[in-house]
Structure formats: C-alpha cells, structure tokens
C-alpha cells in the first residue's frame, strides 16, 4: 500500500487538510497526517522550528474525520515536516507527499514563497512523489468548495504515480462546484497577488497583499485558473544553470 504524508501550511486545524486526508484514505492510501501546529503560510521550504534542547515538539492529535489515522501537530513548518518524514519521524518514509488543500491559490513563480509548495518540493527532493493542492478562494470568499480541489488531486494520483520518484506537481482548483477540467499550464510571471510595503519607518515595516494589475499570459496557470480550469504544472525545486566561466577569467 502506498504510504502518504498529508501536510499543509494552514495548520493542523485547517478544513482543507481534513478534506484532503479523508479523500486520500478513501482512495486506499496508507495515510499519516502531520501538519504545523500553527498557521505557517509563506514559509516556503524552511526547516526552521520551535526547539527546546534541540528537540522539535510534536503533539499527537486525533482528527475528527479520521480518528483511526495517525495525526501529528508539529511545531515547525511544512518543509521541515516533509523533511523529517523522509527521515522516518512518523514511521516509514512516505512514498507520496500531498500538501494542501491550501486556502488560496498558489500560482506563478511566486510559488517559491509558498509553504504548501515548499512541502511538496521538499518531499520530492527526498525521493517521494509529491503534489501541492490549492483552492482559489480569492480575497473575500463566501463559500469553500474543497471537494473540487480534492477530486482533482485524486484524479491526478495515477498520473503522478506513473512519473519517476522526485516528481512534484502544483495543482490549483477554482472555488466552484465544478471546474472546466484539468489543464497543464506554464507558470505565470509572478502570481495573482503580490506583497507590497504599506508603511514603514526606521523601526518597522508593514506589509499588505494586493491583486496584481497585469494580465497573465494566456497559457499560464493564473490565466487558466481565472477561466475556471483546474491547473496542473510540473515543478522542480533546485536546478543548476550553466554559464560561461571563461568569459569571467
């Protein structure tokens, strides 16, 4: 049976985490849930944690929707969780890392900063197949269609399983009852929101999140998601780039 780690960056109490874990267990995966004890959005693949004497605190929890599944609240971010899971912190290393369902889209090159994506990339870097799953709820959602994102994730499991270990997918679903279907997309130049400095002086900086004014390219994840598609993008964590060293010397 395929061992699956279910994690996120919204925290152990997040409804998207529960929805994804229930679906994964229903699909026949051997599920372990380990997620941050507190909200950890924007943590990327950080392995920072709250430590005492070099020990990272891990609390056993019971997930109401899956009481029989081993569940842990970790006092660290999702990248750290994926890394220690690969080292056997929660039992045998996972074959599959599913991260989400995130409260908000993760599109474009700004996924660099996402804890949801960071967990998936860390899992892939450590030899698992991985998927980051997000729901495009926008800035002021009135309802949440977690099932739309979850159905896409389960539908993509055979596709992911057919890929080599180390493969990571980034999946974004529109916040509606049904999407138009799955569509493989490029990454938008940045994302659909960005962070700006709203106020600052010598002693502090206050940030704000705003929607981007530019229109993304037609084949990008941001554009396709806005049109109602569930977007799928294969992503790599760290790759080297060759350059001409002789021209420097």
pLDDT single digits (tens) 17-28: 999 999 999 999
Does residue 248 fall inside a structural domain? no
Residues 170 and 107: their CA atoms lie apart, in Å, by 8
Q: Does 112 fall in a domain?
A: yes
Total count of domains within the chain: 1
Residue with tokens 């960005």: 194
Residue 121 lies in a domain: yes
User: What's 227's domain CATH number?
Assistant: 3.40.1210.10
DSSP the chain: --EEEEE-SS-TT-HHHHHHHHHHHHTT-EEEEEEESS--TT-TT---B-EETTEE-EEEEEETTEEEEEEEEESB-HHHHHHHHHTTTTSSPPSEEEEEEEES---SGGGGG-HHHHHHHHHHHTT-EEEEEEEE--SS-S---HHHHHHHHHHHHHHHHTSPTT-EEEEEEESSSS-S-EEE-BPPSS-SEEEEEEEE-SS-EEEEEEE-SSPPPTTBHHHHHHTTPEEEEEE-S-------GGGT-
Per-residue pLDDT reduced to its tens digit, 29-83: 999 999 999 987 777 777 676 665 778 899 999 999 999 999 999 999 999 999 9
Asked if residue 85 is part of any domain, the answer here is yes
Does residue 204 fall inside a structural domain?
no
pLDDT, tens digit, 9 for 90 and up, residues 154-213: 999 999 999 999 999 999 999 999 999 999 999 998 755 555 555 555 565 565 555 554
Look up the domain containing 163 and give its range: 3-188+216-238
| Res 214: pLDDT | 54
- Does 198 reside within a domain? no
pTM recorded for the entire structure: 0.89
Does some domain include residue 151? yes
pLDDT in tens, 98-124: 999 999 999 999 899 899 999 999 999
In a domain, 211, yes or no: no
């Amino acid at each position: 049976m395929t061992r699956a780690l279910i994690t996120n960056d919204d925290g152990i109490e997040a409804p998207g985490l529960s929805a994804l874990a229930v679906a994964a267990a229903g699909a026949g995966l051997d599920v372990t849930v380990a997620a941050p004890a507190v909200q950890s959005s924007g943590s990327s693949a950080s392995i920072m944690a709250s430590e005492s004497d070099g020990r990272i605190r891990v609390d056993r929890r019971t997930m109401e929707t899956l009481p029989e599944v081993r569940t842990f609240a970790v006092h660290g971010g999702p990248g750290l969780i994926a890394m220690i899971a690969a080292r056997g912190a929660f039992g045998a290393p996972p074959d599959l890392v599913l991260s989400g369902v995130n409260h908000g889209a993760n599109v474009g090159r700004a996924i660099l900063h996402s804890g949801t994506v960071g967990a998936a990339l860390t899992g892939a870097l450590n030899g698992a197949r991985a998927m980051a799953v997000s729901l495009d709820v926008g800035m002021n959602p009135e309802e949440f269609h977690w099932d739309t994102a979850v159905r896409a994730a389960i539908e993509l499991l055979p596709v992911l399983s057919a890929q080599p270990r180390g493969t990571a997918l980034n999946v974004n679903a529109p916040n509606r009852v049904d999407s138009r279907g799955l569509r493989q997309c490029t990454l938008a130049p940045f994302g659909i929101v960005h962070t700006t400095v709203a106020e600052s002086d010598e002693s502090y900086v206050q940030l704000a999140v705003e929607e981007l004014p530019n229109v993304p390219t037609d084949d990008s994840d941001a554009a396709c998601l806005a049109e109602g598609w569930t977007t799928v993008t294969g992503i790599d964590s760290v790759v080297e780039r060759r350059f001409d060293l002789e021209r420097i010397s």
